[in-house]
Structure 1
C-alpha cells in the first residue's frame, strides 16, 4: 500500500511539473513593420530587401521602402529571412507529455469505432513540448487522436494560446481511419498463424465497412427527418457524406493505399492518405485520382531489402515528379516535430525542388486543412503568422529563429531546452 501511494504521489508531481511558464502573446496593439528582409512568400517567390507591414493580426502591405505608419513598431530584419510559419500535420502535440508516465498520455479512446473523439478536447496548451517546437518555427499543428480503427477527428491549432478555443485555427476538419493490415506480420513477436492473421485482417476490414454503412444510414435518416434518437458516433461522420469533412486514412503498404482509394472513390469521399510510405510505388495512380498525401516518413530505413538506402528521403521528389499533391510531416510525432523544417530541407537535398520543399510544410498543409486563405504564405490579407530567422529555416545549421508572430501577436520563444542550455553553460 505504501509503495502504491508513493507511485501515485510521484505521478502527480510529474504531471504538475510539466506545465511551461511562457505567457501567450498579447493581441497585436500597434502596426509592425519588418524592414529590409528577404521574404520567402511561398506563393510569389523570394523577394530580397523587401518590407512587410502587418496590423490587427493581418498582413497589410508588402513592398520596398514602405511608409512607416504612425505609432508603428519598426524591426530591422536586413540580412535575415522572413517565412510563413511551419504547419505540422499528423501530430500528437499536447496529447502526451512523458511517454513513461501514463497519466500524461491522452492520445486515444477505448474502443475501435470512436469518430466522436476530437483531438483538441484533450489538448494541453501548457505542455512543455510546445515552446520547444515553436523555437524551430512551427506556428500551427494538426492534433490527431490515435490508435483505433476509426480514431476520431483532428483539428488545426496555433501553438500559442491559453486554451484550445483561442488557439483554434479550424476544428474537426476530418475523420481519421487506421486502415486494417493488408499483409502478414512476420515479426518475431507475432504468435498468430498466417491464416489467423488473414482472418483478423478481413474481420477488421468488415467492421470498418459496416461502420460506414451504419453512418450512411444514420445520415440518410437524419436528412429524411426520421431519426429515433441521436448517436454521437454517426453525428461526427455526417460531414463525410455532405462533403464538409475529409477522410484521413493512415496507411503505409501499397495494398492498403489502393484499398483506401477504391473505398473513398466508391463512397465519394475527399481522401487524404497519411503516412503513405509506399506512395511512391503508385504515385501516378494517386495523382490521377486527385488524392492528397501527408507523407510522414521523411527519415528512416528502407522498408524492403531491395530498396535503396535513401528511399525514405527520395520519396517527396518522386511524388512531386508524378504530380502528387502532398505535404511533409512527422507522422504521430510530438517532441520530434521540431525537426519538420529540417526534414523538408533534407528532402530538397535528395531531389525535391527547394521551393516545393518549403511549400510542403507551409502552404500545402494549409490547403489540406482548408485554411490556405488564411495561413501558409506571405500575402496581403492573410494572417500575420510568420517567423524571422537568421538563415534558411529548412537548414538545421543555418537557421536561428529570432521572432515569431501568430496572428500578429509576438510569441515568447523561450523554452525548457533553452533554459537548461543556459543553466549548464554556467556549470564549472
Structure 2
C-alpha cells in the first residue's frame, strides 16, 4: 500500500510539474491594424502590401491604406507574411503528456464500442506541448480519442484557453471508427495463423456493423417515440443518422477504404477517410464518390517493397490531380503536429501546388470540421485567428512566427523549448 501511495503521488507531481505557465490571451480590447503585409488569404489569393483590420475578434477590413481607427494598435508587417491560423487534424494534443508516464495518457477508454467518449472532456489546456505547437503557427487542433472499433467523438479546440469550454470551436463534430484490418499481418510479432487472422478480421467487421445496426434501430425508435430507456452509446451516434454529424473512418489499406466507402454509401453517411495511406491507389474512386480525405502520412515510409521511396510525399499531388477533396494532417500526433506546415511544404516540393498546400492546412481542415464560415482564411467577417511570420510559413528556414491572434486575442508564443534555449544561452 505504501508503494502504491508513493507511485500515485509521484505521478500526480509529474503531471503538475508539466503544466505550462503561459497565460491565455485576453479578449481583444482595441482595434488592431496590420499594415503593409503580404496577405495569404487562401480564398482570394496572395495580396501584396495590404492592410488588415480586426476589431472585437473579427476581421473588419482588408485593403490598401486603410484608415486607422481611433485608439487602434498599429503593427507594421511590411516585408512579413500574414496567414490564417493553421488547423491540425487528427491529433491527441492535450490527451497525453509523456508516453513513458501512464498517468499522463488519457487518450482512450476501455472497450471496443465507446462512441459516447468525447475527446475534449479529457483535454488538458495546461499541457507543456501545446505552446510548442502554437509556436509553429497552429491555432486550432482536432482532439481525437483513440480506441478499438468505435473510439468516440472529436472536437475542434483553439490552442489557447483556460479550459476546453474557453477553447471550444466545435464540439462533438463526428464519430471516429477504426476500420478492421482487411489483410494479413506479416510482422514478426504476429503469432496468429493466417486463418486465425481472417477469422478475427471478419468478426471485428461483423461486430462493427452490428453496432451500427443497433444504433440505427435506437435512432428509429427514438424518432417514433418508442424508446424504453436511454443508451449513451447510441445517443452519441444519433447525429450520423440525422445528417448532422460526420463519420470519420481511420484506414490505410486500399481494401479497408473500399469497404468503408461501400458501408458509408449504404448507410448514407457523410464520410471522411483519415490516414488514408493508400488513397492514391483509389484516387479516381474517391473523387467520384465525393469523399473527403484527411491524408495523414506526409512523411510515411513505403508500405510495400515495390513502392517508390517518395510515395508518401507525392501522394498529395496525386490526390489533387485526381480532384480529391483533401486536407493534410500529421496522423494521430501530439508533439509532432508542430511540423504540419513543413509537411505541406514538403508536399509542394513533390508536386503539389503551393496554394493548394496552404489550403490543405487551413480552409480544408476548417471545412472538414464544419467551421469554414469562421476560420481557415483571411476574409472580412471571419474570426481574427491569424499568424504573422517573418518568412514562408511552410519553409523550415523561413518560418518565424512573430505574432499569433486567436479571435483577436494575442497569444503568448513563449514555450518550454524557448525558455530552455534562453537559459542555456547564459551558460559560460
- Structure 2: how far apart are the matches of 1:253 and 1:246? 21
Normalised by the length of structure 1, the TM-score is 0.99
Residues 50-82 of structure 1: per-residue CA shift (max 9 Å, x gap): 000000000000000000000000000001000
Match of 2:174 in 1: 174
Match of 1:213 in 2: 213
Match of 2:269 in 1: 269
| Post-superposition offset of 1:8 | 3.1
Match of 1:115 in 2: 115
Match of 1:257 in 2: 257
Spell out the pairing of 1:392-411 with structure 2 (5 A cutoff).
Answer: 392-411=392-411
Match of 1:385 in 2: 385
Residues 181-230 of structure 1: per-residue CA shift (max 9 Å, x gap): 00101111111000000000000000000000000000000000010001
Residues 56-113 of structure 1: per-residue CA shift (max 9 Å, x gap): 0000000000000000000000010000000000000000000001010000000000
| Post-superposition offset of 1:2 | 5.5
Match of 2:141 in 1: 141
Match of 1:353 in 2: 353
| Post-superposition offset of 1:376 | 0.1
For 2:218, what is the secondary structure of its paired residue?
helix
- Structure 2: how far apart are the matches of 1:366 and 1:5? 45
Spell out the pairing of 1:127-206 with structure 2 (5 A cutoff).
Answer: 127-206=127-206
- Structure 1: how far apart are the matches of 2:194 and 2:427? 57
| Post-superposition offset of 1:396 | 1.0
Contact kept in structure 2, 1:158 and 1:168, CA below 8 Å: yes
For 2:22, what is the secondary structure of its paired residue?
coil
| Post-superposition offset of 1:32 | 0.2
Unmatched 5+ stretches in structure 2: none
Match of 1:315 in 2: 315
| Post-superposition offset of 1:147 | 1.8
Match of 1:342 in 2: 342
Number of corresponding residues? 428
CA RMSD of superposed structures (Å): 0.8
Match of 1:104 in 2: 104
- Structure 2: how far apart are the matches of 1:122 and 1:11? 17
Spell out the pairing of 1:27-66 with structure 2 (5 A cutoff).
Answer: 27-66=27-66
Unmatched 5+ stretches in structure 1: none
| Post-superposition offset of 1:148 | 1.9
For 1:216, what is the secondary structure of its paired residue?
helix
For 1:304, what is the secondary structure of its paired residue?
coil
Match of 1:239 in 2: 239
- Structure 2: how far apart are the matches of 1:101 and 1:10? 10
- Structure 1: how far apart are the matches of 2:4 and 2:224? 55
Contact kept in structure 2, 1:109 and 1:148, CA below 8 Å: no
